[in-house]
């Protein structure tokens, strides 16, 4: 009996969190705090990060491993957002920061789709459950906002309007399912460099951030489940700066539009390009067109909206 008990796997919790696409992203002038105010509409998509938190011996500290596509591009030290999430939760709860984290990648790396933010959200939920910390959800959301502007949305999922730095969220009603194809590049774009280019291109004339009339149409399209209207309303203030830094992305946009995409937009700070299809089959066809034209390094198809951070499995002792 004791041999069987000793062979049992250690307690662990596996959590899944979604990537996202910005359906609309409007950027205001940089503030004295160095951040740009945002008005954005997020949609979570069915590309997921999974984080498994496993109990380790007291005093072992935090360790991190990564597997899946582009795993070699992900840091495995304290600079990783999942590591930082575990450390922050331990600090706030007074618990020992002893955990082995494993990330299984499912969201493109450095592609403007918040894969790192999804890791942080998943790590918060996984460690909270593993350590039986019982942190109320509002407090987890506050910690998520400290880790990064996109992390709270990874917790929430579905579709939401984000203001302030994108971290102040209001859930948005949607109907139906939307079919996306994402074209990614091996070489990412630095988010700070895209914002710097935005400031350089806009100069002192940058308007105060505010949702535009097109965003009202976008919200109507979401509530009606109207993919055609949604495609027409997609918008990203960072698309111009991203294209200025990476002119070759224009070909990605053009190929998708020539292939009948309902709408095409650079996702977040790029360089990933999101194309909205009429159906699942059409989204696959958009990816095939990109591959045939050799304008992307990889293609990912997904649907939205997707749920937020969820516990998938939990092994207790």
Length of the chain: 317
**Residue 186: Cβ within 10 Å count:** 12
Q: How far apart are CA 90 and CA 199, in angstroms?
A: 37
Of 98, 119, 128, 150, catalytic: 150
Catalytic residue selected from 20, 119, 128, 237: 20
Cα(189)–Cα(270) distance, rounded to whole angstroms?
A: 6
Q: List beta partners, residue 62.
A: 99
Mapping DSSP to helix (H, G, I), strand (E, B) and coil, where does residue 209 land? coil
20 is catalytic: yes
To the query of whether residue 150 is one of the catalytic residues in this protein, the response is yes
Q: How many Å apart are CA 122 and CA 11, to the nearest integer?
A: 17
CA distance 113 to 80: 16
Can you count the helices (H) and strands (E) in the chain? 11, 12
Which residues belong to the active site? 20, 150
């Amino acid at each position: 009996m004791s041999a069987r008990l000793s062979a049992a796997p250690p307690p662990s919790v596996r959590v899944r969190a979604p990537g996202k696409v910005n359906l609309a992203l409007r950027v205001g002038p940089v503030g004295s705090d160095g951040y740009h105010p945002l008005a954005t509409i997020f949609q979570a998509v069915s590309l997921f990060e999974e984080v498994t938190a496993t109990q380790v011996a007291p005093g072992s500290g935090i360790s991190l491993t990564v597997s899946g596509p582009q795993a070699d591009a992900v840091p495995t030290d304290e600079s990783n957002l999942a590591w930082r999430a575990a450390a922050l939760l331990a600090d706030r709860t007074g618990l020992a920061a002893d955990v082995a984290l494993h990330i299984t990648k499912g969201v493109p790396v450095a592609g403007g789709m918040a894969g790192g933010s999804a890791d942080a959200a998943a790590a918060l939920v996984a460690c909270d459950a593993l350590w039986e910390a019982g942190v109320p959800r509002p407090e987890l959301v506050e910690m998520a906002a400290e880790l990064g502007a996109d992390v709270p949305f990874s917790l929430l999922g579905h579709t939401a309007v984000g203001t302030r730095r994108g971290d102040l969220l209001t859930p948005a009603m949607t109907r139906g399912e939307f079919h996306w194809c994402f074209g990614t590049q091996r070489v990412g774009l630095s988010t700070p460099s895209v914002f710097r280019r935005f400031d350089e291109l806009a100069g002192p004339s940058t308007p105060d951030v505010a949702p535009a009339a097109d965003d009202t149409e976008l919200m109507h399209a979401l509530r009606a489940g109207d993919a055609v209207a949604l495609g027409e309303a997609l918008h990203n203030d960072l698309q111009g700066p991203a294209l200025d830094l990476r002119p070759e992305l224009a070909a990605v946009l053009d190929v998708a539009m020539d292939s009948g995409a309902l709408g095409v937009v650079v996702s977040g700070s790029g360089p990933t390009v999101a194309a909205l299809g009429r159906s699942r089959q059409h989204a696959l066809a958009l990816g095939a067109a990109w591959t045939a034209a050799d304008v992307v390094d990889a293609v990912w198809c997904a649907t939205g909206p997707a749920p937020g951070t969820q516990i998938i499995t939990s092994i207790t002792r």
